[in-house]
C-alpha cells in the first residue's frame, strides 16, 4: 500500500501560471492520499509529467519575471505550500511511508530522477529521525550522478513560496550536511543547494540564515574541502556578469563576510582569492559616502576600508606567508576594480602616445589600481622578507633558498592576467615595470663571435661580464663559486644572451641568491602578458630565451667525483643552480609548447607587429629547440637528484630544512667512536703468550672476544647506517624534484611533434610504417625523452579522468596536483552561462574535454599508434636472420611500452568517455587515431554534425586489440610482469567496448552482444590460455595478479552463449556450452596434474605456470567460478524449457564432478592441505551449496519425476562434497584456525538448509525410504577417523558419517542437528 502511495506522490508536480484544472485536481488528490491514507485504502494513481514551474512565485508574491503576481498565482502557491506541508506531516508520523519513499528512491536509476524526488525527500527530512537517512540518499545519489545541481535548480527555482515551509526545517540542514561530506560530488551538490536557496528565498531572515551557515563552514575550522565548497558558493553569487542582483543582495550581510578577515591566516591561497574577490565585489554600504573620484558608491567599487587596512597590515609584515595574504588582496582589488576602468574613447590617440613614447593619462580608477599594485611591489622588495620564517637560523652552510614575496606577486599577477579581467592600463604597467628586470638581473650579454678577435672566440671570451667570464675560466676570486661552463647552448653561435644561474647562486649578497626564486614566476608573468590566448601580441618578444645557454657548474663538478671535492658553499651554489635551471627549463617548455604545437599565422603577425625588433622563430625551429630543451631538462634533473642527495644544506623555497634523523647520528657515533678501541687490541706473539699466567691468558682471550663483538656490532651498525643514509638521501632528492615547477599537461603535445615521431623525421603521415619491415625493426623506441613524455601523458590522463572512488581524495593530495592554481582560478571572467554553480558541478570534465581537443589536434594519440605499431613489428615480425641486432626486450623499449599501456588503460577505463554522447564521440576520435594513425586526417569531436558511429568504434576496438596482442605475444619474452601490463590493457579494451555497447544498446535495439565483442572475448581467452602454457624466468613471482588473473580471464571470457531457442539448445553437446570446457581444462589438465609431480612442487608439463607457489592463486580462482557457473546455468534459457532438462542436469552433474575433483586434491595430498587452500575450499563450497539450494533444488521439484536417477546422482555428489566440508570444519576447530572458525557458522547454516530442502523434496516425491540419516564420525582432512572423542558440548554439532535406520520421529529430531544423510534410489 505504501509503495502505491509513494508511486502516486512521485508523479505530482508543482504547477506554474499556465497550469490547468486537471493539474489542480491531481495535486489535491495526491495531497488527500498522502494525508488521509489508512491501512486498507489505496490511492488513485495519477499521471502527469515532471517539470520546473515557470513564472511562478519566488517567495515574495511576485512572478520570477518581475511582474506582480495575480490572485490566481498566490492562491496556487498557497495550495502548493499546504500540499507539501501535508506531505511533510504525513511522513513525520508515518515511518512506513518515509521508508517506502527512501527505498523507491534508492532503486531509481540515476537518469530517471525528477524534481518531485527532491521535494518529497525534503518533506521526509522534516522529521528528525529521517534527516540522516535523507542526507545519506543525497550523498549516494550525488556520487552516482542521479542528483545533479541542474535537477536541484529545476526543483527550487520558481517554487520559493511553496517550499518556504521546508527552508529551515529540512533544506538548510541538508545543505549543511552535504557541504561537510567527504565526497566531492556531495559537496558540490550542497553548494548548489545553498546558492539556489539564497536566490529563491528572498526573505531577509532566510538569506541571513543561509549566509550565516556558509560563514560558519568557513570560520569553524573545518576541512579545507568544506571551506572550498562554501567559498565557491559566495564566488558563484558574485562572479556572474548578469548576476549583479545577487551581489547587491549580499551587501546587507557584509558584516558576516567581513568577519572572515579574522580567519585569513587559516585559509589557502585559493580561498583567500575568493574571499577578497567577494568582499570587493560586494563593496561597502550605501551610507559610506561618495568614492574618491566623486561618483556614487557602486557595488564592487570602494567602500572596503576594513579590507584595505587588512591588506596593508599583511603587506607590512616581514614573513613571506603573511605578506602573501596582502599580495592576494591587492591583486584581487585590481581585478575587481578593473571592471570600473572606462574604455578608451579614442584608440588611435592611445596608439600615437605609445609610438611617441609619451605617457598616456590614466583614469582615476586605473591610477588607483596601479597605486595599490605599486605599493605591493614596494613592500615585496623591501624589508627582511627573505628571512627564514620557519624559525631556523640561517647559519653558514645552512641557509634556505629564498621564498621571496616578489615571486608570489608575479604568480598572483599571472593568474589575474589569465583570468582576462585586468584592465589594459594595468597590463601595460606590468610590462613596463617587469620586462627589464628579466634582462637586467637574470640575463647576461654575449658578444657576437664574428665581431671579436680570432683569439677571443672561445666560449669564455664572448661573455661580456668579467665576473661571469672569470667563473667560466676558473679564475674567480669568489670562494662560493665552483668552476662554471656554458651548457645547453641550443642557439649555438646565434646566442646573444645567457642565463646567470651560477653567478647569482654563488653571490655573496643573499638578496641576489634568493632572487633566483623570482626567475620562473617572472618569465611566466611576462609570457602570459604576451600570449595571444590572453590578449597579448605573441611570444616573439621573449622567444630568444628558448635556446640561450645556461651558465651552470661544469659537468665535472656535479658528478660523484667532482662534487665531493667542493666545499659546503660551493656545493650549495651548484645545487641551487641545478634546481633553478630545472625550474627554468620546465617553465620555458610550459610557456612555448602550445604555440609550437599550434603556431599562429606568422604572415599576419609580421603585418601587425611594428618595427624590425621582432625576431620571428619558425614553428619548426621552436619545436626543435623545445625538444632539445626537454633533453637538457632530463640531464639537469639527474644532476639535481645527485647534488641534492649530497647537499642537505639546500632547502627548496617554501619548505623547511630536512633535519638529519637522530638515528643516523647515533649510528655514526657508534661506528666512529669504537674505532679507537680496535687500535688498542693487543698483538701478543706466541712467545709472549707463553710467558703469561693462566689468569692473564684468560683476560687476553676475553679482550679479544670483546673486540670481535665490537667489530661485529660496528659492521652491523655500519650496514644499517648505509641503508638509513641512502633512504635519507633519496628523500632529499625526491623532495627537491617535487618542489620544481610542475610540467603542464600540454607538455604531452610534444609527442605529436614530427621531431618526436618514431618513424622518419619530419614525416607528415604515419603511412611510412609501410616501409621495409627490417627498417622498422631497427628504429629506436623509448629513451629518456619519450619516457618523460609518456609518463606526463599518463599523469595528465589520470588527472583528467580520475577513478570514481578516489576522485574526492585527489583534492587532498596537493603534491600530485597539476597546475592546481591555474585550473581553479577565481580571477577568471565568468559569463552568466558559466558562472552558475550547477554548470560547473554538473559537468566537471569540461576542462578534460578541452585538453582532449588539444591532444587530438596535436596528434598525441597518433604518436601512441606509431610507437605501438613499431614495437609490435620489433617484437613480433621477421625471422631470426633479420633480428640479430634488434633488442626486442631492451629496457628502454619495455619501459616505454609499459607507459603506453598505462596511458591506454587511463583512456579505456575513463567512465566519462562512455557515459555520455559527447564522451563517446571523443572516444571514437581517440580510437581512430590509435588504430589508424593518419596525420593527414582532421578530427573534430566538438562538431555537432559529427555523428557517433558504433560500427566505426567497434572496428577501432578490434584494431587496437590486435596491435596490443601482437606486442605481448610477439618475441620470446620471459618477463611476466611486462606481459601482464599488456593483458590488463587488453582487458580494459574489452571492458570499454562492453560499456559502449551497453550505453548504445537502447539506441541500436540490440539484445545480444555484437559479434565483434564476442570475438574479442574469445581472443582474450585464448591469449591468457596460451600465456599459462609459457615458461617464465626463474625469478618470476606467481600470485593472484599474474597467474590468478590469467586463469580468471581465460575462464571468464571462454563462455559460449546458450541459444535462446530450446530446439537449437537441445542439439548442442553439453561440454560446448558456457564455460564448462575451460573449467574442465583448468581442473583436470592444470590443477589436477600437480599431484603427479614430485612432492606436488611442479611444474606441470604442459602448464609450467602451475607450481606449488602458484597453486593457491589458481585453485582459488577456479573454485570461485564454479558457483558462478551454476547460477549461470539455472538463469539461462537452458533451464527454462522441459526439452533441455536433461542437459541442464547433465551440466550440473559435470560441475559437481569438477568441484569434487578440486576437493579431492586437498583431501588426498597433504602438501596441498594448507590453511589458505582449505579456507578457499570452505568458502567456495558454501557459496556453491547456497546457490544449489536456491536454484537447483527448486528446479528438481519440477523435473524430479522424469529425471529421478539424474537428480539422485546429483544429490549423492553434493553429499560427497558436504562430507569434505564437514571435515574441513572439524579440522579448523581442532587446529583452532581463526579464519576457518569464522567461516564455520555460515557453512553450517547452508548445510542445514540443504538437509531440510532435500527432505522436503523426497517427501513430495514419495521417496522418503530412499534416504537414511545418522550421526557421522569426526574425520581428518584425508578422511581418516579421529580416534580421540571430544566430550565438549560443542561436539554435538559435529558431523559424522556413521548412521542407522531411523523412523520418521528420529528424522524430525535430526532436523535440529548437523547430521548428514545418504540418499538411495528406490531401485537400490
pLDDT in tens, 293-307: 344 444 444 457 889
- State pLDDT tens for residues 124-135: 899 899 899 999
Q: Which three cell numbers stand for residue 492?
A: 649555438
SS3 label, residue 443: strand
Distance of alpha carbon 740 from its chain centroid, rounded? 21
User: C-alpha grid cell for residue 1060?
Assistant: 535462446
- Residue 552: per-residue pLDDT: 94
Per-residue pLDDT at 214 exceeds 60: yes
pLDDT band for 202, please (50, 70, 90 cuts). Answer: confident
CA R_g for the chain: 39
Q: What percent of the chain has pLDDT over 70?
A: 74
Write the pLDDT tens digit of every residue in 533-548: 888 888 888 888 999 9
- Is it the case that residue 1042 has pLDDT exceeding 50? yes
Q: Are strands 484-487 and 550-553 parallel, antiparallel or unpaired?
A: antiparallel
pLDDT tens for residues 789-803?
999 999 999 888 876
Q: How far is Cα of residue 571 from the mean position of the Cα atoms in its chain?
A: 38
Helix (H) or strand (E) holding 550: strand 550-553
Q: What pLDDT does residue 887 have?
A: 61
CB-CB contact of 1215 with 1267 (8 Å):
no
pLDDT confidence of residue 804: 53
Number of CB atoms found within 10 A of residue 1084's CB? 13
State pLDDT tens for residues 167-190.
888 999 999 999 999 988 899 999
Q: Is residue 498 within 8 Å of 552, Cβ to Cβ?
A: no
Q: Which of 308-322, 615-629, 782-796 has the lowest mean pLDDT?
A: 615-629
CA nearest neighbour of 989 among 1105, 866, 907, 1071: 907
Q: What is residue 373's predicted lDDT score, i.e. its pLDDT?
A: 93
- Scan for cell 495575480, then name that residue: 70
Which segment of 564-568, 951-955, 1065-1069 scores lowest on mean pLDDT? 1065-1069
Composition of the chain by helix, strand, coil, percent to 5: 65, 5, 30
- The three-class DSSP label of residue 571 is helix
Position 1265 confidence tier, pLDDT thresholds 50, 70, 90: low
Measure the CA–CA gap between 918 and 908, rounded to whole angstroms: 15
- Tens digits of per-residue pLDDT, 693-726? 778 777 877 888 888 887 888 888 888 888 998 9
Please state, as a whole number, how many other Cβ atoms lie within 10 Å of the Cβ of residue 599: 15
Model confidence at 17: pLDDT above 60: no
**Residue 1230 pLDDT exceeds 90:** no
Residues 6+ apart with CB under 8 A from 212: 256
Look at 841 and 309; give whichever has higher pLDDT. 309
Residue 440 per-residue DSSP state: I
Q: Specify the residue for cell string 661506528.
A: 671
Say whether pLDDT at 1016 is over 70. Answer: yes
| Residue 937 contacts residue 856 (beta carbons within 8 Å) | no
pLDDT in tens, 147-159: 989 899 888 888 8
pLDDT at 69 over 80: no
Candidates 239, 238, 165, 243; CA nearest to 201 is 165
Q: Give the per-residue pLDDT at 164.
A: 85
C-alpha cell at 446: 654575449
Q: In sequence order, what DSSP letters do the residues of 1182-1245 get, joined into one string?
A: HHHHHHIIIIIHHHHHHHTTTTHHHHHHHHHHHHHHHHHHHHHHHHHHHHT-HHHHHHHHHHHH
807 vs 594 pLDDT, higher one: 594
Q: Is it the case that residue 1295 has pLDDT exceeding 50?
A: no
Contacts of 909 (CB under 8 A, 6+ apart): 801, 803, 988, 991, 992
For residues 274 and 826, the answer to whether their CB atoms sit within 8 Å is: yes
Largest CA distance in the chain: 127
pLDDT value at residue 1086: 94
- Distance between CA atoms of 273 and 328, rounded to whole angstroms? 6
- What is the mean predicted confidence (pLDDT) over 757-772? 52
Q: CA–CA separation, 1260 vs 892, rounded Å?
A: 71
Asked whether the predicted pLDDT for residue 878 surpasses 60, the reply is no
CA-CA distance, 472 to 481, in Å (whole number)? Answer: 10
pLDDT for position 608: 46
pLDDT of residue 283: 80
Reported as a single tens digit per residue, the pLDDT across 494-519 is 888 999 999 999 999 888 888 899 99
Give me the mean pLDDT over the 267-285 stretch.
Answer: 87
Question: Which is higher by pLDDT, 111 or 1125?
Answer: 1125
Global pTM?
0.82
pLDDT for res 450: 56
Element at 409 (helix H, strand E): helix 405-419
Using the predicted structure, report yes or no on whether residue 372 has a pLDDT greater than 50. yes
Q: Is pLDDT of 213 > 70?
A: yes
* Integer Cα distance of 618 and 599 in angstroms: 9
Q: Is the sign of the CA dihedral 556, 560, 565, 570 positive or negative? A: positive
Residues 6+ apart with CB under 8 A from 971: 875, 876, 888, 889
Q: What is the torsional sign of CA 417, 418, 424, 428?
A: positive
**Mean of the pLDDT values across residues 596-608?**
64
pLDDT at residue 828 in the model: 80
Q: Which three cell numbers stand for residue 294?
A: 566623486
- The string of pLDDT tens digits covering residues 1144-1181 is 999 999 999 999 999 999 888 888 888 899 999 899 99
What pLDDT shows up at residue 47? Answer: 35
Q: 1318 in helix, strand or coil?
A: strand
Place of cell 523507491: 104
The candidate with the shortest Cα–Cα distance to 1021, out of 975, 971, 992, 1055, is: 1055
- pLDDT at residue 1282, rounded to an integer: 75
- Identify the pLDDT of residue 582: 95
Res 583: pLDDT: 94
Give the contacts of 371 (CB within 8 A, at least 6 positions apart).
none
| Sequence-separated (6 or more) residues with CB below 8 Å from residue 1211 | 1254, 1319
Q: Give the model confidence (pLDDT) of 93-109 as tens digits.
A: 888 888 888 888 888 88
How far apart, in whole angstroms, are the C-alpha atoms of residue 623 and residue 752?
Answer: 10
Which pLDDT score is estimated for 65?
Answer: 45
Q: Is the pLDDT of residue 741 over 60?
A: yes
Instruction: State residue 11's pLDDT score.
Output: 59
Please give the Cα distance from 1223 to 131 (Å, whole number). 50
CB 194 within 8 A of CB 213: yes
Q: 522 and 434 in contact (C-beta within 8 Å)? A: yes
Mean pLDDT of the chain: 78
Percentage with pLDDT > 90 across the chain = 36
- 1167 φ/ψ angles, rounded to the nearest 5 degrees: -65, -25
Q: What is the pLDDT of residue 602?
A: 52
| Res. 1182: pLDDT tops 90 | yes
> What mean pLDDT do residues 959-971 have?
89
Q: Answer for the pair 198, 246: CB distance below 8 angstroms, yes or no.
A: yes
Query: What is the spatial distance between Cα 644 and Cα 1054, in angstroms, rounded to a whole number?
Result: 54
pLDDT number for residue 719? 86
Cis preceding-peptide flag for 272 (omega within 30 of 0) = no
Amino acid at each position: 500500500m505504501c509503495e502505491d502511495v509513494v508511486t502516486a506522490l512521485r508523479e505530482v508536480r508543482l504547477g506554474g501560471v499556465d497550469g490547468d484544472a486537471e493539474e489542480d485536481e491531481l495535486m489535491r488528490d495526491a495531497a488527500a492520499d498522502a494525508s488521509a491514507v489508512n491501512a486498507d485504502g489505496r490511492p488513485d494513481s495519477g499521471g502527469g509529467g515532471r517539470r520546473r514551474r515557470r513564472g511562478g512565485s519566488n517567495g515574495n508574491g511576485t512572478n520570477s519575471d518581475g511582474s506582480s503576481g495575480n490572485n490566481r498565482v498566490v492562491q496556487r502557491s498557497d495550495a502548493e505550500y499546504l500540499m507539501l506541508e501535508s506531505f511533510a506531516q504525513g511522513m513525520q508520523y508515518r515511518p512506513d511511508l518515509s521508508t517506502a519513499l527512501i527505498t523507491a528512491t534508492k532503486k531509481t536509476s540515476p537518469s530517471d530522477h525528477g524534481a518531485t524526488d527532491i521535494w518529497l525527500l525534503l518533506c521526509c527530512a522534516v522529521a528528525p529521525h529521517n534527516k540522516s537517512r535523507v542526507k545519506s540518499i543525497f550523498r549516494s545519489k550525488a556520487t552516482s550522478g542521479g542528483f545533479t545541481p541542474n535537477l536541484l535548480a529545476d526543483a527550487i527555482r520558481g517554487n520559493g513560496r511553496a517550499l518556504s515551509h521546508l527552508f529551515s526545517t529540512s533544506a538548510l540542514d541538508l545543505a549543511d550536511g552535504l557541504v561537510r561530506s567527504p565526497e566531492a560530488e556531495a559537496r558540490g551538490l550542497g553548494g548548489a543547494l545553498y546558492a539556489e536557496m539564497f536566490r529563491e528565498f528572498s526573505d531577509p531572515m532566510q538569506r541571513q540564515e543561509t549566509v550565516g551557515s556558509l560563514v560558519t563552514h568557513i570560520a569553524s575550522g573545518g576541512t579545507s574541502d568544506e571551506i572550498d565548497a562554501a567559498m565557491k558558493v559566495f564566488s558563484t553569487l558574485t562572479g556572474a556578469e548578469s548576476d549583479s542582483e545577487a551581489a547587491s543582495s549580499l551587501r546587507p550581510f557584509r558584516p558576516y563576510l567581513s568577519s572572515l578577515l579574522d580567519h585569513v591566516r587559516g585559509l589557502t591561497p585559493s580561498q583567500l582569492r575568493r574571499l577578497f574577490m567577494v568582499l570587493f565585489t560586494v563593496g561597502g554600504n550605501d551610507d559610506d559616502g561618495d568614492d574618491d573620484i566623486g561618483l556614487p558608491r557602486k557595488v564592487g567599487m570602494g567602500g572596503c576600508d576594513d579590507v584595505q587596512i587588512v591588506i596593508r597590515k599583511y603587506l607590512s609584515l616581514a614573513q613571506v606567508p603573511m605578506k602573501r595574504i596582502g599580495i592576494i588582496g591587492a591583486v584581487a582589488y585590481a581585478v575587481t576594480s578593473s571592471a570600473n576602468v572606462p574604455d578608451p574613447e579614442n584608440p588611435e590617440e592611445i596608439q600615437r602616445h605609445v609610438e611617441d613614447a609619451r605617457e598616456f593619462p590614466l583614469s582615476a580608477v586605473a591610477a588607483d589600481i596601479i597605486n595599490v599594485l605599486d605599493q605591493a611591489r614596494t613592500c615585496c622588495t623591501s624589508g627582511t622578507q627573505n628571512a627564514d620564517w620557519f624559525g631556523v637560523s640561517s647559519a653558514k652552510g645552512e641557509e634556505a633558498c629564498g621564498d621571496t614575496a616578489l615571486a608570489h606577486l608575479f604568480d598572483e599577477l599571472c593568474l589575474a592576467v589569465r583570468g582576462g579581467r585586468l584592465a589594459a592600463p594595468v597590463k601595460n604597467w606590468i610590462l613596463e615595470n617587469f620586462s627589464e628586470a628579466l634582462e637586467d638581473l637574470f640575463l647576461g650579454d654575449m658578444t657576437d663571435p664574428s665581431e671579436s678577435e680570432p683569439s677571443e672566440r672561445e666560449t669564455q671570451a664572448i661573455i661580456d661580464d668579467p665576473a661571469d667570464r672569470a667563473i667560466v675560466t676558473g679564475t674567480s676570486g669568489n670562494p662560493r663559486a665552483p668552476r662554471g661552463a656554458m651548457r645547453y647552448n641550443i642557439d649555438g653561435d646565434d646566442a646573444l644572451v645567457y642565463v646567470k644561474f651560477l653567478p647569482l647562486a654563488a653571490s655573496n649578497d643573499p638578496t641576489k641568491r634568493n632572487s633566483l626564486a623570482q626567475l620562473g614566476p617572472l618569465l611566466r608573468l611576462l609570457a602570459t602578458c604576451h600570449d595571444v590566448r590572453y590578449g597579448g601580441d605573441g611570444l616573439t618578444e621573449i622567444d630568444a630565451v628558448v635556446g640561450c645557454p645556461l651558465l651552470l657548474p661544469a659537468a665535472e663538478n656535479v658528478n660523484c667525483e667532482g662534487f665531493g671535492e667542493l666545499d659546503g658553499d660551493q656545493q650549495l651554489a651548484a645545487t641551487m643552480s641545478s634546481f633553478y635551471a630545472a625550474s627554468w627549463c620546465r617553465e620555458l617548455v610550459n610557456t612555448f609548447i602550445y604555440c609550437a604545437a599550434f603556431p599562429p599565422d606568422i604572415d599576419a603577425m609580421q603585418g601587425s607587429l611594428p618595427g624590425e625588433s621582432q625576431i620571428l622563430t619558425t614553428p619548426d625551429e621552436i619545436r626543435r629547440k623545445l625538444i632539445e630543451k626537454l633533453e637538457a631538462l632530463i640531464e639537469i634533473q639527474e644532476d639535481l637528484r645527485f647534488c641534492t642527495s649530497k647537499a642537505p644544506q639546500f632547502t627548496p623555497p617554501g619548505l623547511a630544512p630536512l633535519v638529519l634523523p637522530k638515528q643516523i647520528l647515533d649510528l655514526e657515533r657508534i661506528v666512529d667512536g669504537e674505532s679507537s678501541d680496535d687500535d688498542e687490541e693487543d698483538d701478543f706473539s706466541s712467545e709472549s703468550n707463553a710467558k703469561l699466567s693462566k689468569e692473564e691468558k684468560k683476560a687476553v682471550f676475553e679482550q679479544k672476544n670483546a673486540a670481535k663483538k665490537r667489530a661485529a656490532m660496528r659492521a652491523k651498525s655500519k650496514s644499517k647506517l648505509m641503508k638509513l643514509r641512502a633512504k635519507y638521501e633519496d628523500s632529499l632528492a625526491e623532495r627537491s624534484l617535487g618542489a620544481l615547477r610542475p610540467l603542464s599537461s600540454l607538455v604531452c603535445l610534444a609527442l605529436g611533434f614530427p621531431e618526436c615521431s618514431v618513424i622518419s623525421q619530419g614525416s607528415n603521415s604515419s603511412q611510412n610504417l609501410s616501409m621495409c619491415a627490417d627498417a622498422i625493426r631497427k628504429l629506436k623506441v623509448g629513451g629518456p625523452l619519450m619516457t618523460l613524455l609518456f609518463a606526463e601523458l599518463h599523469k595528465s590522463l589520470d588527472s583528467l579522468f580520475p577513478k570514481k572512488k578516489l576522485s574526492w581524495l585527489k583534492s587532498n593530495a596537493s603534491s600530485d596536483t597539476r597546475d592546481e592554481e591555474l585550473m581553479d582560478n577565481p580571477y577568471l571572467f565568468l559569463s552568466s552561462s558559466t558562472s552558475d554553480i550547477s554548470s560547473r558541478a554538473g559537468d566537471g570534465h569540461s576542462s578534460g574535454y578541452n585538453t582532449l581537443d588539444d591532444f587530438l589536434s596535436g596528434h598525441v594519440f597518433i604518436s601512441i599508434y606509431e610507437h605501438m605499431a613499431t614495437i609490435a613489428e620489433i617484437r613480433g615480425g621477421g625471422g631470426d636472420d633479420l633480428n640479430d641486432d634488434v633488442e626486442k626486450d631492451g629496457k628502454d623499449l619495455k619501459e616505454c611500452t609499459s607507459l603506453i599501456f598505462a596511458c591506454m588503460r587511463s583512456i579505456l577505463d575513463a567512465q566519462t568517455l562512455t557515459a555520455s554522447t559527447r564522451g563517446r564521440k571523443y572516444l571514437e576520435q581517440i580510437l581512430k587515431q590509435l588504430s589508424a594513425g593518419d596525420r593527414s586526417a582532421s578530427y573534430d569531436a566538438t562538431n555537432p554534425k559529427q555523428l557517433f558511429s558504433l560500427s566505426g568504434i567497434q572496428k577501432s576496438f578490434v584494431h587496437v586489440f590486435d596491435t596490443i596482442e601482437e606486442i605481448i605475444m610477439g618475441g620470446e619474452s620471459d618477463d611476466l610482469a611486462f606481459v601482464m601490463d599488456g593483458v590488463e590493457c587488453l582487458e580494459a579494451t574489452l571492458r570499454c567496448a562492453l560499456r559502449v555497447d551497453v550505453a548504445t544498446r537502447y539506441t541500436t535495439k540490440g539484445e545480444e552482444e555484437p559479434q565483434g565483442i564476442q570475438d574479442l572475448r574469445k581472443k582474450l581467452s585464448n591469449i591468457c590460455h596460451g600465456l599459462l602454457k609459457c615458461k617464465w624466468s626463474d625469478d618470476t613471482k606467481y600470485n593472484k595478479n599474474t597467474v590468478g588473473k590469467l586463469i580468471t580471464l581465460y575462464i571468464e571470457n571462454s563462455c559460449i552463449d546458450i541459444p535462446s531457442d530450446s530446439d537449437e539448445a537441445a542439439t548442442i553437446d553439453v561440454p560446448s556450452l558456457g564455460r564448462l570446457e575451460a573449467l574442465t581444462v583448468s581442473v583436470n589438465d592444470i590443477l589436477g596434474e600437480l599431484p603427479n609431480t614430485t612432492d606436488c612442487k611442479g611444474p606441470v608439463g604442459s602448464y609450467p605456470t602451475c607450481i606449488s607457489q602458484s597453486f593457491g592463486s589458481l585453485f582459488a580462482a577456479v573454485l570461485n567460478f564454479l558457483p558462478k557457473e551454476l547460477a549461470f546455468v539455472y538463469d539461462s534459457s537452458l533451464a527454462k524449457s522441459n526439452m533441455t532438462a536433461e542437459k541442464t542436469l547433465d551440466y550440473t552433474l559435470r560441475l559437481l564432478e569438477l568441484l569434487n575433483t578440486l576437493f579431492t586434491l586437498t583431501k588426498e595430498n597433504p602438501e596441498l592441505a594448507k590453511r589458505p587452500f582449505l579456507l578457499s575450499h570452505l568458502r567456495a563450497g558454501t557459496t556453491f551449496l547456497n546457490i544449489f539450494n536456491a536454484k537447483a533444488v527448486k528446479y528438481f521439484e519440477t523435473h524430479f519425476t522424469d529425471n529421478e536417477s539424474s537428480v539422485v546422482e546429483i544429490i549423492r555428489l553434493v553429499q560427497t562434497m558436504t562430507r569434505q566440508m564437514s571435515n574441513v570444519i572439524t579440522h579448523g576447530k581442532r587446529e583452532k584456525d581463526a579464519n576457518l572458525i569464522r567461516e564455520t557458522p555460515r557453512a553450517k547454516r547452508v548445510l542445514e538448509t540443504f538437509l531440510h530442502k532435500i527432505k522436503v523434496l523426497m517427501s513430495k516425491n514419495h521417496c522418503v525410504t530412499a534416504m537414511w540419516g545418522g550421526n557421522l564420525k569426526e574425520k581428518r582432512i584425508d578422511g581418516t577417523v579421529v580416534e580421540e572423542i571430544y566430550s565438549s558440548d560443542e561436539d554435538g554439532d559435529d558431523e559424522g558419517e556413521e548412521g542407522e535406520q531411523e523412523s520418521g520421529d528420529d528424522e524430525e529430531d535430526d532436523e535440529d542437528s548437523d547430521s548428514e544423510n545418504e540418499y538411495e534410489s528406490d531401485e537400490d
